[in-house]
Amino acid sequence: MEAKGLFNVAKKEFIGHLTSKKFIVILGLFLIISALAMHQGTDNYNERLESYKEQISQIKEVEGHVGWMPDKPSIMLVFMFMSDYIMMLGAILAIAMGFDLLSKEKETRSLKSLLSCPVFRDEIINGKALGGTLALVFAMGTALLISLAILLIFSIVPSMNELAAILVFGIVSIVFLLAYFAIALMMSTVSRDSGSALIYTLVIFFILGSLLPIVGSTVAGMVTGEPPEPPAFHLQHETNESEGTFFYGGGTEEEMQQYQEELRAWSEKRKPITEVFNLISPNMNYQKIAFFISDPRIYSAVYEQSSPSSKSMTITTIVGESSAPSLQEVLGKVWKNILALISFSVVFFAIAYIKFMRMDIR
């Protein structure tokens, strides 16, 4: 393989994608809906910011107040809305770019004439993959630039830490799109025609994105059984001189503590099973990473609650007193999901590469 031939093929594919009507239409829809999601996210952010300011002003009115302080919302909450559309429209864009890269060449019988040129087989498959990757980077980069422009229009200026988180969000989103692009490229290589490649890719997209998480939840339910029942409802009352008699319901403190222990044990038994199935789903991996990057404080609370060493954690600690983990800490906790996304691209591209190198072209 020579670099010149590789870059020539990649350049041809990259320009072909950017000038393709199919790419332009799907990219336009992707950018429009992403912009709408950003607008919705900024509205939600502004509402939370106003609520935060009101709580701060109320706290300041109380002299000598020391204790719980509300958390200032992060603009990364805006990108939580955007990630949902990337999982759907972004994946469709990646599939549309890859399902006919090689099958179309086979249908038009242009592969034979292409190979008659001074270019090696590995330069063709690698160049097509590189050109598609550059087109996806262009699409995601454009979406992020539009997102930043919308933030600035609403007078929201990201900090350096938030810009770093946005950059990581963009990189993870590209890796997610590459996973489905590699699947589409693999199906384009092994299928006889573009129609079959598209159908097979969409079937895989449905299985990996929607069916696997459901199967994982079902299998976990079969293994762990039903969740423990909450304590029976007991009507109780208390009487004091200032407020009179009032009634309340619930179990005793011992019953509630036992129920929480049983529920925690049930959750810890269920979690490894669902995680195995979720790791096989690009959608679930991306959703988890994007969610935790967007709201690391909630991630910290969920992770600490699910760990065996957190049995004494109180809801006050989760909500107000725990410090939000840094971006590096969050990435350290989701490295398995990042590795799983990268593995999808590597494995399916390797299958496409091996198949194409061994293909009998006559």
Inter-residue contact 180 to 88 (CB < 8 Å): no
- Tell me which amino acid residue 323 is: S
Strand, helix or coil for residue 19:
helix
Task: Give residue 63's identity as a one-letter amino acid code.
Answer: E
Segments in 280-334 forming alpha helices (H):
282-294, 296-306, 315-316, 327-333
The confidence score (pLDDT) of residue 313 equals 35
Terminal Cα-to-Cα distance of the chain (whole angstroms): 22
- The Cα–Cα gap between 362 and 357 comes to 14
Its pTM surpasses 0.85: no
User: Residue 336: left if φ>0, alpha if ψ -120 to 50, beta else—which one?
Assistant: alpha
Would you place residue 134 in the very low, low, confident or very high pLDDT band (cuts 50, 70, 90)? very high
Reported as a single tens digit per residue, the pLDDT across 339-353 is 999 999 999 999 998
| Mean pLDDT for the stretch of residues 110-114 | 66
> Does residue 360 have a pLDDT over 70?
no
- The pLDDT score that the predictor gives to residue 115 is 62
In angstroms, the CA 39 to CA 61 distance is: 34
Percentage with pLDDT > 70 across the chain = 78
Residues 166 and 160: their CA atoms lie apart, in Å, by 10
Separation CA 97–CA 93 (nearest Å): 6
- Count CB-CB contacts under 10 A for residue 88: 14
CA neighbours closer than 13 Å in the CB half-sphere of residue 268: 14
pLDDT of residue 311: 37
